[in-house]
Amino acid sequence: MVNGYQATSLKEALKILAKESVTPYSGGTDLMIDPEEHATFLFLARISEMKNIIEDTEYLRIGAACTFTEIIENELVPEILKEAAAQIAAPAIRNLATIGGNICNGSAKGDSALILFATDAKLRLVSSRGERVLPIAEFYLGRKKTALKSDELLVEILIDRINLSNYYYKKVGARDALAISRVSFAAILNVADGKIVNCMTAFGAVSDIIIRRPDIDAMLVGKTTKEAKVVKKEYIAAYDQAIIPIKGRISAEYRKAVCMNLLRDFLESNGI
Amino acid sequence: MENISGSIKKKDHEAKINGSALYVDDHLMDGMLYGRMLHSAKAKARITKIILPELPEGYLIVDKNDVTGVNRVAIIIHDTPVYAEDTVEYVGEPILMVVGPDDQVVETILHKIVVVYEEKIPVLDMLTSDTVFFDYNYTKGDMDKALAEADRVFIETFQTGYQEQAYLETQGLIAYPQDGRMTVRGSMQCPYYVHSAVANAIGCEGKDVQIIQDVTGGGFGGKEAFPSILACQVAVAAKKANKPVKVIFDRREDMEFTSKRHPSLSTYKVAIKNGEITGMDIDVLFNSGAYTTLSAVVLQRGLICANGVYRIDNLRVGGRAVKTNTVPCGAYRGFGAPQTFFAVEMIMDHIAKEMGLDSLELKEKYMVKQGDSTSTSGKYHFHVPLPEMIQRIDELTDYRAKRKQYQQQIGRYRKGIGLSMFFHGCGFTGSGERDIIKAVAKIRKNPDNTVEILASNADIGQGLKTTFCKIVADTLGISYDRVYIDNPDTDRVPDSGPTVASRSLMTVGGLLQRAAEKLKKEWQEGKEQVIEEHFVEPDFVIPFNLKDFSGDAYPTYSWSVNAIEVEVDTLTATTKILGAWGIFDVGVPIDMNIVMGQMEGGFLQGIGYASMEQMDYNAKGIIRNNSFSDYIIPTAVDVPNLVAEIMNNPYTHGPYGAKGAGELPLVGAAPAYVEAMENALGANLNKVPFTPEDVMKILQGVNT
């Protein structure tokens, strides 16, 4: 017997969340791994405000309760996110699992979270007290720890409407389906008028939080490819210091080597 | 294709598709209790005290003091305790069982039990073991002379790891006392093994024990000996409670604490004179774990296969299965052969490289043919189809050309192709069938002219119900629908031996064919008739002597050649399998769909063994890869291009020409995969699984 509330509007869901101890349940694919026996669930799948994928002048807004299948099939979603989403688990899980769950899980191995780090996405968190918009990097506090308050729901993910077409993405899992990332890397680099206008990289599954270092990436911004080559060594050295993989089932040495190889390949593929 | 090979709807198809098939966990009985095992948390310790919580009404603890018979499980050697006595020898060793009506309460009680251990230093590494369980040696020709006269001796050690059977259904049994007898039912491969073990543990006569196999969700060897252990524990519990007791392992428990493939270290010394291989001196070490269980038979097969499919005139093979304070290893598809076939295929490859030959060229030169002598001075009595298999592989893959083409590569992605050739010796090793098993099978014709097959072999997903029924129906010339077989129940079926070693169809299927031939002659319309057949060793077999490993270890062999093509991503050190091709000779397939399922599934398991299935214990002897997220097995997506082909090579003494099929496809995948990796990486490799981390080390060594 499963206890729970079937919320049909965001308002209703937030009201329940404010006064009761409930476990938000979107796709349920993470919750089922270790089911809490006496939990009361707050089912989110019928809340239309959390199921939209729309664009406004500033952002692409993805409802947190959108499944990966919905994301893959939506025309507005950038290719980098689609590619990552398509490598998550297997079709049956992608039909249920949601992007909001992947983020709120708090894991640095979340394949969609990596893309949201690389694109500096923001999260719209709403409670009956009000709402706030938090950059994703501030949402993650540590391993399985997030800034989400007990009465808050992640409602939308906001991705800046910048050009994301020149991207680099690689997931390294233990096999080609149903695999948790061992290392993942995403990067975007845009050049305008001969100069790098943005460079955004993120490394997943290597430490407690996805690694996103705009301060290091800034070394390349404003430079021509030729100028970037001059600082390449320094740039790589900075990441070499910044990436300290934690030891897991797979060695830290392996993870580090893959991160550095992919970073170099990303630069080389952009002529740097 | 022979008529019999045509595919037919499986006997268990409807029940498994519509959900009416009942597995052991589906059975509920009146007053049934649930049991959960308390496993040792230490690898080696003396138990000084067990502090039990107060037990609610109806709950009980079952341990060594409740064993009314012998506190040992009758496997080959009776050394495995039913419940631990004063010491524990591995992490996971069963100490006691908590039994009661509510599974959750049982679990709560289990967590409240405190075991006080006096820890001792465990032996985890097989190289440091001081206890040799089994030590076998055999020779052929004069190895000392070959070594003395050699211009060159190659020495190399090869390593293989654990492999977990990963069957879908975990271990589980129910035991219940009834009318002064004890019945045990559930998931198993060998009802009569369980039968002797239970009688021995509860201390009763065989007639007072009944064993029933339920629909079983996979075994792969993992349900050969382990159910004997669990059955003793559950039967002791049921006897004490005087009620039915059910125990179903959860996945972690099953992965951590039940038998798996023996890790191995094999050292090969190969003598070369004038460019010819003149001898192989082989030393094999298997990690048995804490108790002997099936290590003897696994080691025997490993040693017999140690020279592969090659004609080696001077041979010295020695092997030991040693004790460590780790989970006892047991049977898994191929048992012993995948380890040594990996080693011999790799050493042949490495010798070839040194000689400036391609490995296939060298292998072809030494490949055995009909009439040649086996490692144990027996004989390959029948046609060896390796040459035509190699030719077919070359047609399918362009092997020889690719092998050359991939020798020198630069760039991010590097391809490689590898090939292996191997056999499975069909049935029990040596004279086991004749001297130990002495299989008996029956068929009974009912008055309504339907025919029931009575044999103790279990359908564990390999399709045995279907293939047995096809043989009997076709021999009798009656419709397949009129022949049936139920899951074995020792009250009803004779002991036709265990469901192991790819013996069931060849050996027991052969008895059933003979029985059906007899029944056909004696057929009396509307009457009940029972025909019983006993195993008789074929006349051509050169009797096997286990003392010196001489004679025919197997009456015949199933043969195979595999090729695997890979592409390594040098940035991530991950490997994509571009194709896997296997040509298999299992005699005449009794059902093509079933055989193809076996070949594809076994081949994929072998690829997993070679590439990604990694399991190890930590410094405390604890296996951490105890879930499907930590123990990775391949999915269909990982090897999309997997091609299995059958080469028909009928066995004159098998039913309809069939020989053993089940084990063969797993045996040679590892060397084909690792040879392909060598081809891509340009390095000599000597271990499985060969994982991305191993690849990265090679790449970093090569690149820096």
pLDDT of B400-444, one tens digit each? 999 999 998 999 999 999 999 999 999 999 989 999 999 999 999
Q: How many CA atoms lie within 13 A of B141 on its CB side?
A: 19
Band the pLDDT of B668: cuts 50, 70, 90.
very high
Locate the domains of chain A by residue range. 48-160, 167-269
- Report the percent of chain A where pLDDT is more than 90: 94
Average pLDDT in the B457-466 region?
98
B612–A250 CB contact, under 8 Å: no
Residues of B in contact with A90 (CB under 8 A): 635
The per-residue pLDDT for range B240-267, each reduced to its tens digit, is: 999 999 999 999 999 999 999 999 999 9
Written in H, E and C, the secondary structure of B613-643 is CCCCECCCCCECCCCCCCCCCCCHHHCCCEE
Residues of A in contact with B700 (CB under 8 A): 257
CATH of domain B264-429+551-703: 3.30.365.10
In A, residues 87-116, which contact B (CB 8 Å cutoff)? 90
Average pLDDT in the A125-138 region?
98
In B, residues 599-628, which contact A (CB 8 Å cutoff)? 612, 624-625
B573–A257 CB contact, under 8 Å: yes
Nearest CA to B367 out of B441, B289, B419 is that of B419
Residue B633 Cα, gap to closest chain A Cα (Å): 8
Residues of B in contact with A187 (CB under 8 A): none
Q: Is the Cβ–Cβ distance between B396 and B642 less than 8 Å?
A: no
Residue B282 scores a pLDDT above 80: yes
Average pLDDT in the B179-203 region?
98
Instruction: Report the pLDDT value the prediction gives residue B691, as an integer from 0 to 100.
Output: 97
Band the pLDDT of B41: cuts 50, 70, 90.
very high
Q: Is the Cβ–Cβ distance between A117 and A94 less than 8 Å?
A: no
Instruction: Report the pLDDT value the prediction gives residue B704, as an integer from 0 to 100.
Output: 37
Residue A180 forms contact with B (CB below 8 Å): yes
Residue B93 scores a pLDDT above 80: yes
Residue A258 forms contact with B (CB below 8 Å): yes
Instruction: Report the pLDDT value the prediction gives residue B49, as an integer from 0 to 100.
Output: 97
A174–B573 CB contact, under 8 Å: no
Instruction: Report the pLDDT value the prediction gives residue B547, as an integer from 0 to 100.
Output: 94
- Strands B60-62, B94-100: pairing is antiparallel
B624–A265 CB contact, under 8 Å: no
Mean pLDDT across chain B: 97
| Closest chain B residue by Cα to residue A259 | B572
Residues of B in contact with A265 (CB under 8 A): 412, 571
Average pLDDT in the B360-384 region?
98
B635–A261 CB contact, under 8 Å: no
A261–B634 CB contact, under 8 Å: no
Residue B638 forms contact with A (CB below 8 Å): yes
Residues B309, A171: Cα–Cα separation, whole Å: 41
The answer to whether the peptide bond before residue B689 is cis (omega within 30 degrees of 0) is yes
Kindly tell me the burial class for residue B130, based on how many C-beta atoms sit within 10 Å of its own C-beta (0-12, 13-18, 19 or more): exposed
The per-residue pLDDT for range B598-633, each reduced to its tens digit, is: 999 999 999 999 999 999 999 999 999 999 999 999
Diameter of chain A measured on Cα atoms: 64
Residues B503, B662: Cα–Cα separation, whole Å: 9
Q: Where are the alpha helices (DSSP H) in B242-334?
A: 251-257, 295-304
Instruction: Report the pLDDT value the prediction gives residue B35, as an integer from 0 to 100.
Output: 98
CATH of domain A48-160: 3.30.465.10
CATH code 3.90.1170.50 for B24-121+165-257: yes
CATH of domain B432-534: 3.30.365.10
A254–B692 CB contact, under 8 Å: yes
Locate the domains of chain B by residue range. 24-121+165-257, 264-429+551-703, 432-534
The per-residue pLDDT for range B669-703, each reduced to its tens digit, is: 999 999 999 999 999 999 999 999 999 999 998 54
Q: Is the Cβ–Cβ distance between B499 and B509 less than 8 Å?
A: no
Average pLDDT in the B507-531 region?
97
Q: Which of B571, B624, B635 sits opposite A178 (nearest CB)?
A: B635
Average pLDDT in the B314-341 region?
98
Tell me the torsion sign for CA atoms B267, B273, B275, B278: negative
| Closest chain A residue by Cα to residue B632 | A174
Q: Which of A172, A175, A257 sits opposite B635 (nearest CB)?
A: A175
Band the pLDDT of B462: cuts 50, 70, 90.
very high
Written in H, E and C, the secondary structure of A25-52 is ECCCCCHHHCCCCCCEEEECCCCHHHCC
Residues A182, A172: Cα–Cα separation, whole Å: 6
Q: Is the Cβ–Cβ distance between B413 and B601 less than 8 Å?
A: no
Average pLDDT in the A82-96 region?
97
Residue B506 scores a pLDDT above 80: yes
- Report the percent of chain B where pLDDT is more than 70: 100
CATH of domain A167-269: 3.30.390.50
Q: Which of A249, A253, A258 sits opposite B630 (nearest CB)?
A: A249
